[in-house]
Each structure stands twice: as C-alpha cells, then as structure tokens.
Amino acid sequence: MAGLYIHIPFCKQLCHYCDFYSCISLAKTGPMLEALLREMGLQRDFLPTGTLTTLYIGGGTPSVYSPRELGRLKHRALELWDCTDLQETTVEVNPDDLSPGYLEQLRAEGFNRLSIGIQSFIDRDLQLMNRRHTANSAGQAVREAQQAGFDNISIDLIYGIPGMSDREWEENLARALALDVQHISAYHLTIEPRTVFGKRAAQGKFSSVDEETSQRQYLTLHRMLTAAGYDHYEISNFARPGYRSRHNSAYWTGEPYLGIGPSAHSFDGRHRRWSVSSVVRYLENVDQGNIYEQETLSPEEAYDELVMVSLRTAEGIDTEELERRFGARKLRYFEQSARRFVEAGILEHIGRRYRLKPEEFLVSDSVICELFWPIHENITHI
Ligand code: SF4
C-alpha cells in the first residue's frame, strides 16, 4: 500500500478558519501544474515499493483546475508508478465550482471518488466561515455528482461553530443524511492563530464553544450517523460499509505516502519530507531540483506517532504490528502503560488490539499522551 497526495495551493477566497497553505491569486496556476508534474518525476523513488494504491488531489481547491488538467496529474502518476492496484482516486472540490459538465468530465478522466467541502447547511454559518457556496448549492452539487455517476462521495461538515445550537447541528446532520452519500467527515472547528478567526479571538471578538457543547455535538454526530448505518471508523470519519477512505486510512496505519506540491508532507515510515509553503519559492525550488526538507524520525517519535494515529481509529492499535516495527521492549512498555486504562474500562483489549470506544475519541488526548514513550528515558522495569 502506498498513497500519492497532490496539494493544489490555490483558493478563490480564504475561509476564516482554515490554516492550510493556499494562495488566492490564480496567476500561477499554469506554471504550478507544470511544476507539480515535474516534482512527481523528481520524487518518484521515495515510495519504497514503486506501487500506488491511492491518489488524492486535495488542497487548497483542486477544482480551480479543469478536469483535463487534473487528469494530466493522474496520467503522470500512471506513467511513473505501478498503478495496477490503484483502487481509489479522489478529488476535493468546492460545491460552487461544480456543474454537470465538469462532473462528467472528471468521471471521464477516471476519478472515482469526490470529496465535497460543504461544511454546513446553514447559510449564516457559511457566511461566518467565509465559504463561497450556499446551503442550497451544496445540496445541488451532491445531487449533480450522483447524477454524473459518482457512487463514492464524501462530504465535509464542521461542528462546534459558535452560535450553532445543538438543534441546528442535528438539522445539519439530517440534511447530510438525506443526501445518502457514502462517506461523511465531520471536524470540530478549531481556532488557529494565523486565521481570521484566530485574529478575532486574539482581539477578544471570537471564542470557541465550551467543552460541554463540543462533547454533546460530537456524541450527537456519533449517535445519528451510526444509527443511519455509518461506521465511525476514525475520530472525524464515518463510512457506509465498504466506503472507508483508503487513502486516509493508510495515514493512520503508518503506510508510506508521497506528498507533492507546496507544503505537502511525505512519510515512508522513517523519514518525513516537506516542501516550502510558498507558491513562488516552490516554483523556484522545482526549477532548481531542490524541493524538500527532510527529517528522520527517531524510533521513539515513530512509536508515538503510531500510538496517536491508531488510537483515534475504530481498529485501535495492533500489538503485533507495534512489536514488528518497534520491538518487544516498546510493546512491553505500551502494554504496561495501557493496563490501568483497560482496568478503568477506558481502553478495550480485544485479541491483539487495544482500542478506544468511538464515543471516547474526542476526549482521548490525555489517555494517548500517557501511552507515549517518556521524554526522559528512565525506565528500568521493562
Ligand atoms: S477550507 Fe478549503 S476552500 Fe477554504 S481556504 Fe481552506 S483550503 Fe481553501
């Protein structure tokens, strides 16, 4: 298994909560497309097996490009890697960029999954967040995608929005369920410092919802979507049977992935690479063939990363995998650290796996931190 992520660093306007790297000038979309194609060739050997199982074009807003331009990226991947087992090819799109013709062309280019950034079905919240679409156009975009033949559609929602009542969150979820999509990602609004919301918060003009509201809305999300037949398989992700995101699942199981484009990260199990978060400097770097910075994770950092990402999934952590990658000593440390949480009924220990209940994911950070490898290694008892 290996995934390819391509970051499209352009948006037509910036959402007030978003701190992904993106640029609102579309002047460089042409040179950027050529640079992305070039970088794919330059980084070809990063993936250890040379095979691709998933392709994800995200951003930013990939739908600033035409289907034909996005198709060029996919076809370059087909040339560079063994794609005989390429199972999932996703494009992130914004509802207001879509039309029946655009969607049909995306299908014709061979993309088989869409991720549509809806965020809310409440116009007031869409305006607050500076989204470009309306609640009605979001629903219409999903229906048009279904009519164009997409049968693997994910939509994104946001909860914990200041001013959104529990009742409105339930109505949002009911509208999402009525669309009968295969996958729903729902994220709690976080206020990041470098965003408009972050600046308003620093001036005392905006603040997060309280923890009780977060927890109530999270539990409503879990209850309504699981009752409707969705599998709550990761803290923010729900899927109909057979429709989990294979690309994102690979991140959570430590599979290698290559990220292409400004600010994109790559990971092969030991090394993490990333490109500069600047369109202009990225274009210069690709020209010079000098694209990324790299760090090598220590075994302890890699162990912490696996513990953190896997305990936010329904499968939890696989102790055989833990031992295979990090050895018997780290497994013993994990099992000893986990014991008190198992005894307290917080962690479940089933066969070779330890897992949290999905209802507990949102408040799992304090448990997960206790399972990390200690910063000052002074362990004599294992
Ligand atoms: S949320 Fe999406 S559309 Fe909005 S600024 Fe971020 S990347 Fe762009």
**Confidence grade of residue 253 (pLDDT, cut at 50, 70, 90):** confident
Residue 288's Cβ-count burial label (10 Å; 0-12, 13-18, 19+) is: exposed
Would residue 381 count as lying in a domain?
no
**Confidence grade of residue 333 (pLDDT, cut at 50, 70, 90):** very high
- Structure confidence by residue, pLDDT tens digits, 255-294: 899 999 999 999 988 899 999 999 999 999 999 999 999 9
Would residue 107 count as lying in a domain?
yes
Positive or negative: CA dihedral 181, 187, 188, 193: negative
Count of CB atoms situated within 10 Å of the CB of 221: 25
Would residue 9 count as lying in a domain?
yes
Which atom of ligand 1 sits closest to the CA of residue 119?
1
Task: Flag whether pLDDT at 56 surpasses 80.
Answer: yes
Q: Do 161 and 15 fall within a single domain?
A: yes
Provide the pLDDT for residue 1.
81
Number of domains in the chain: 2
Q: Do 219 and 323 fall within a single domain?
A: no
Q: Do 30 and 144 fall within a single domain?
A: yes
Provide the pLDDT for residue 382.
57
Range of 341's domain?
A: 299-371
Q: Do 306 and 182 fall within a single domain?
A: no
Residue 8: strand, helix, or coil: strand
Count of CB atoms situated within 10 Å of the CB of 137: 15
Q: Do 12 and 136 fall within a single domain?
A: yes
Percent of the chain at pLDDT above 90?
A: 92
Closest-CA residue, ligand 1 atom 6, reads 18
- 167, 173 in Cβ contact below 8 A? no
Domain harbouring 325, CATH code? 1.10.10
Which atom of ligand 1 sits closest to the CA of residue 18?
6
In angstroms, what is the span from residue 350 Cα to ligand 1's centroid? Answer: 39
In angstroms, what is the span from residue 97 Cα to ligand 1's centroid? Answer: 13
Rounded distance, CA 180 to CA 263, Å? 33
